[in-house]
Chain A
C-alpha cells in the first residue's frame, strides 16, 4: 500500500490554495503539431471533486455570451500554473446554481479583507 502512496505523491504538484467561488486563471500547455503554446482560461471555480492525484476542479466563464465550463485534473502535467485572481464569498461547495443565473445575479461576491488596526 505504501508503494502506491509513494507513486501518487510523486505526481503531485504544488498547487496554490484556492477555494470554491474563487476566480482563477489556468494556464494550459497546448501542443499543436510541433509547437507548444500556453492557453489561459479564466473563470470562477464552481466545483472541486475527488482527492489525491485524482482531484479535479471545474472552472466556469462566460465567453461571448455563452457559458463555458472546463474540468481540469488538479495535478495534470499539462497545467503550467494556476493563478488566483479573486477570492469569493460563497456558502456552498458546488456552485451549479450559477448556470441558471444571468447578468449580475451570476456574479460571486468578492471577499474583502479588512486590515486589523494595530
Chain B
C-alpha cells in the first residue's frame, strides 16, 4: 500500500481530451515527511507515521511534540497519520509522484458536521402528515415490536449527532496530477469541508483477516 496526506481545496470542473467536462475535487497532497518508522521488532507492526502541513511558528508546537519531530530532524507538522507502507525511512519526503493518472484511491476525511439531527434528515425517515390534527410530524414513529422482543433492536435509527465523523470513500479516480503545485485532481466529491485534512491511499482490496 502507498499513501499520502492532503488537504481539500475545493471543487471545480476540467475539460477532458475528448471534450467532456469532469467535476473534480482539487487536493493539495504533500509534500509530506515521514516522522517515524515503526518496526515489527520494536512496535509489533510495520508502518510509517507521516506528517503534513508544516507548523511555521515554534510556539505552536508543544515541547513533547517538538522532541518527536527533532528525532527525525524534520520541521513540525500539524497532521500526523500512520500509513502502512514500505520503502520509506524517517525524514523521507513523500510527494504526489507515488501516484499516477487513472489510479483509484480510497480517500478518508472528516465529514461536515450537521449537529444533532432528527430522524428525517439523519436516516431518511418519511415522517408523518404535517396537518389535519396529525401529531406525527417529524417524529420517528414506532421503534419496535411489543412483548416480543420487549426491547429495541440494535441499529434502530434515532436522532443524534450527524456528520463530523471519519468517512472513507473508495474507488476515487485520479483525473490529473500537477506535480509542480503538489495537486491531485480526483473525480467527484471527497468527504469533508474545504481545508479539511484527507488521507489518500491506494485502493487496497477490502481488508480480510490474516490467517
Contacts and interface: CB of A to CB of B under 8 A. Distances in A.
A3 B28 CA distance: 9
B15 A7 contact: no
Contacts of A31: 18
Nearest to B11: A4
B157 interface: no
Given A1-B10, A73-B21, A78-B19, A7 B185 contact: yes
A11 interface: yes
B26 interface: yes
B100 interface: no
A7 B14 contact: yes
Contacts of B15: 11, 53, 73, 75-77
A11 B9 CA distance: 18
A4 B21 contact: no
B176 to A, nearest CB: 9
B21 A3 contact: no
B161 interface: no
A110 interface: no
Interface residues of A, number: 16
Contacts of B26: 3-4, 7
B117 interface: no
Interface string A33-65: 000000000000000000001100000000000
Interface string B3-32: 000000110111101110100001010000
A73 B9 CA distance: 25
Contacts of B13: 53-54
A3 B27 CA distance: 10
Contact of B183 (A3, A29, A73): A3
Given A3-B26, A3-B28, A76 B19 contact: yes
A10 to B, nearest CB: 9
Given A7-B26, A54-B13, A77-B17, 5 more contacts: A4-B9, A4-B10, A8-B12, A53-B13, A73-B21
Q: List the 3 closest A-B pairs by CB distance, nearest first.
A: A78-B19, A4-B12, A4-B10
Interface of A: 1, 3-4, 6-8, 11, 29, 31, 53-54, 73, 75-78
